[in-house]
Amino acid sequence: MLTNNDIVQMLDQITSQEQRDRLSQEKELDFAYALDLKARFRINVMVQRETLSMACRLLPFAIPSIDELELPQICKDLILHPTGLILLTGPTGVGKSTTMASMIHHLNENRERNIIIIEDPIEYNHQNIKSIIAQRGLGKDTNSFHTALTHALRHDPDVIVVGEMRDLDTISATITAAETGHLVISTLHTTDAAQTIDRMIDVFPPNQQSQIRLQISQALLAILSQTLLPRANGKGMIAAFEIVLADTSIRNLIREGRTYEILTYIRLHAEAGSQSLDDALANLVQSYQVTREAAMEKTSDPKHLAKLLDS
């Protein structure tokens, strides 16, 4: 058992005075810590019952490839697109940052691009291969996503990665960047495409929402909503995705405020390239990669998934 004094002493060894001051003021702290060249960690600290609680997550040095992670092959095509907005969504801890890093790595290996990444904190360290990559961490390199995003546009980037869209200013700047000829990738803590679009629009005042719907419908390239399941063989986890590609019909649904119809559309028009989460789960079960029970825990429509599995 670790006492509060143990945690305080550990924290003192791995944080700067500036970070400790921030923890004292905000009662929260999220940062990355490297132990020489041996290991890297993402660390979150919070105050609970007037004591400290610290969670440390090991980060690999090597960035896994899209194929190693068994991600959908459409990820390779999307990241090579010259413009548009790609959104990776899902709850905390489902691997959004890893998926995003693997997509950026694929781009880095295949295209010459100027890439600016803004994260809180920086999780994966990218090396310049074919692209030039600048990585900015909140707190150390910049004070906010919005400020960093605004200044990033002055560096003539081809690709901008926004670690998370947390507020109105960041969402607005992200949409504008995607509209003005950049490829922009970001994340949201939402579970599907419809919720993602609605969440982005709802942060704006009512008198701006129609305009924002139009902007999103024009800028959006794809929404990938991710979840993680344990493999049937007990060896690690595998991701399942709802994939919504912004074709003409999807853009119309967004513009007309009919996001609730997106799921029905992608179920009926799989040939357009989009994929429902239930279809992804069914494929994983039928290929014996995950169990039926694990898939049922992740679906929002157990009856529909059971119908797919039993057909």
CATH of domain 4-59: 3.30.450.90
- b/e 28-39 (16+ beta carbons within 10 angstroms → b): ebbbbbeeeeee
**pLDDT band at residue 19 under the 50/70/90 scheme:** very high
CATH of domain 74-275: 3.40.50.300
Please compute the mean of the pLDDT values over residues 207-232 and round it to a whole number: 96
Where in the chain do CATH 3.30.450.90 domains reside? 4-59
Mean pLDDT of the chain: 94
Where in the chain do CATH 3.40.50.300 domains reside? 74-275
Q: Quick check: 90 pLDDT over 90?
A: yes
115 contacts 107 by C-beta, under 8 angstroms:
yes
Q: CB count, 10 Å around CB of 137?
A: 18
